[in-house]
Amino acid sequence: MQSIIAERCTVCHSSSPTHPAFAVAPAGVMLDTPEQIKLEVSRIVAQSVTTNIMPLGNLTQMTQEERDVIGQWAENGATIQ
Ligand code: HEC
């Protein structure tokens, strides 16, 4: 689960984004660590499972399968191993 976030989200949502358009994390949302991810579970689901607003323009080409994995993970208590 964390690998999906790392691959699809942290290019922008990081303390040091690698996406050239962002010098700082957009909306202040950083998803670098398990702790940060846990704090944002409800917003992660709202933005990338309930709706497909994120990833922005799906620039990182997140798949429906990955959205389903995140939805399941959140439903099952959002544990990070
Ligand atoms: C290409 C850069 C980019 C990627 C990749 C990206 N985001 Fe975003 N994200 C943004 C921008 C820009 C905003 C601010 C948009 C706004 O406020 O209208 C944002 C805002 C957000 C917010 C705050 C929205 C709110 O109002 O609650 C969340 C949560 C979020 N993104 C989650 C994610 C998740 C989860 C992923 C991966 C599945 C992701 N983002 C991938 C650029 C990105």
Average pLDDT estimate for 44-54: 98
pLDDT at 19 over 80: yes
CA of 43 to the centre of ligand 1 (A): 9
- How far apart CA 37 and CA 16 sit, in angstroms, is 16
- Measured from the Cα of 46, ligand 1's closest atom is 29
Half-sphere exposure of 13 (CA within 13 A, CB side): 24
Q: Is the CB of 80 under 6 A from ligand 1?
A: no
Average pLDDT estimate for 35-40: 96
For 59-72, what is each residue's pLDDT tens digit? 999 999 999 999 99
- Measured from the Cα of 60, ligand 1's closest atom is 5
Q: 31 with 14: CB under 8 angstroms?
A: yes
Q: 47 with 32: CB under 8 angstroms?
A: no
Average pLDDT estimate for 3-31: 97
What is the pLDDT at residue 80?
82
Q: 32 with 24: CB under 8 angstroms?
A: no
Q: 47 with 67: CB under 8 angstroms?
A: no
**Which amino acid, one-letter code, is at 48?**
S
What is the pLDDT at residue 62?
98
Q: Is the CB of 67 under 6 A from ligand 1?
A: no
